[in-house]
Structures are given as C-alpha cells and as structure tokens.
Structure 1
Amino acid sequence: MKLLLITSVSEYEKEVCKLFKKAEIIVYSTSDIQGHKFFAGNNLQDNWFSTQRDSFDSKLYFSFTSEDKIETIFKSIEAFNTEKTSSNPLKAIVLDIEKFIN
C-alpha cells in the first residue's frame, strides 16, 4: 500500500478528479489549502501596486492505493502537465506505508 499526495490550484479540481477516475482510484480525500510562492528579486518600488498574487487557492488530494494505480495516475499527471502551459503544474508524491490499521 502507498500514500499518494497530489497538489494543484483549485481551478484544476474537475480535471484532477477525472485523473483519479481514469486510474480507477475510487476513494480519495481532499482538503483546501493555501499555496504560497515567493517571487525572486522583487523590488518593492517596482512591485508596489502589482497585481501578482503570492498566494493561491489550492487543493490537496490524498489516497491510500496500490502501486499499479499510482503508475497510471502518474502517467496521466505527466500528460496533463505537458498539455497545460500554466505556471502551476500538478505535483504528486508517493510515500511507502510501513504499518497501518484498518
């Protein structure tokens, strides 16, 4: 068993749900989170009235699932990130579960 974690901006919620369905991961959880990004080299004088945001409404998705389903969703995430020209790609990690209680 593995723990899959995916983060995305909130705008991609429907697309991420489709990726879970395509990978046949039928049980997962979500949580609203606030993502933050520091912009390198910001000069306060140049950025005083900037419309750039440094925080983003985001989602965290997580699921306990099998390795074969993780491979499927990772391939889909890579394809999704390649197709999108956004500066906010989907990010995913997998953690091994050493011990658990059902």
Structure 2
Amino acid sequence: MKLVIVTAVEEFQNEVLKLFKSANIDSFSTSDIDGYKNIPNLLATSSWFPSVKGGSESHMFFSFTEEEQIERLFHLIAEFNSKIETNNPIRGVVLPIEKYI
C-alpha cells in the first residue's frame, strides 16, 4: 500500500476525478488549497487586509491505494498533461507506507 497525492488547479478538478475513476481508485480524500509559484508575489500580497488573493485556487487529492492503480493513474496524468496548453499541469507524488492500522 502506498499514499498517492495529486495536486491540480481548480479548473482541472473534474478531470482529476475522472482520472481517479479510470484508475479504479474509488476511495480518496480532497482538500482545497492555495497554490503558489512566486514567493515575491506572495510577499507583495501579504498584509492584514489583502485586496487580492495571493494564491491560485487548487485542490489536493490523496488516497491510500495499491501500486497497480497508482501506475495507471500516473499514466493517465502524463497523457492528460501532454495535451494541455498551460504551465499548471496536474502533479502527483507517491509515498511508501511503512505501517498502517
């Protein structure tokens, strides 16, 4: 069993859900996050009452699943990313799980 974490900008949320389904990953969790690429922009927008949101609305998806489903998911993500025209591809990482209950 491994932990897979996928991040994507809000515009790709439905696509990631489809990718998880296609990879037969039925159990997962999500969280809304703010994505940042430029630290100077973050510092420029940080104040007590910022008028402009500093980060990009993004989502994080994570699941404890088997390696076969993760391999399929990564193949699907790579295929999806090869067809987009943006500098915000879907990203994924895998972490080994040493112990779980």
TM over 0.5: yes
Give the conservation status (yes or no) of the 8 Å contact 1:39–1:54: no
**Deviation of 1:55 (Å):** 1.8
C-alpha change, 1:54 and 1:86, in structure 2 (3 Å) is farther
**In the TM superposition, what whole-angstrom CA distance separates every residue of 1:48-97 from its partner, at most 9, and x where no partner exists?**
xxxxx852000000000000000000000000000001110000000000
- Identify the structure with the greater helix proportion: 2
Aligned residues: CA RMSD: 1.7
Amino acid at match of 2:77: I
Give aligned-pair identity as a percent.
Answer: 46
TM-score normalized with structure 1 length: 0.83
Where structure 2 has 5 or more consecutive residues not aligned to the other structure, the ranges are: 41-52
Q: Which position in structure 2 is the counterpart of 1:22?
A: 22
TM-score normalized with structure 2 length: 0.84
Where structure 1 has 5 or more consecutive residues not aligned to the other structure, the ranges are: 41-52
How many residue pairs end up in the alignment? 90
Paired with 2:36 and 2:74, the residues of 1 have a C-alpha distance of 24
Structure 1 consecutive aligned stretches of length 4 or more whose deviation exceeds 3 Å: none
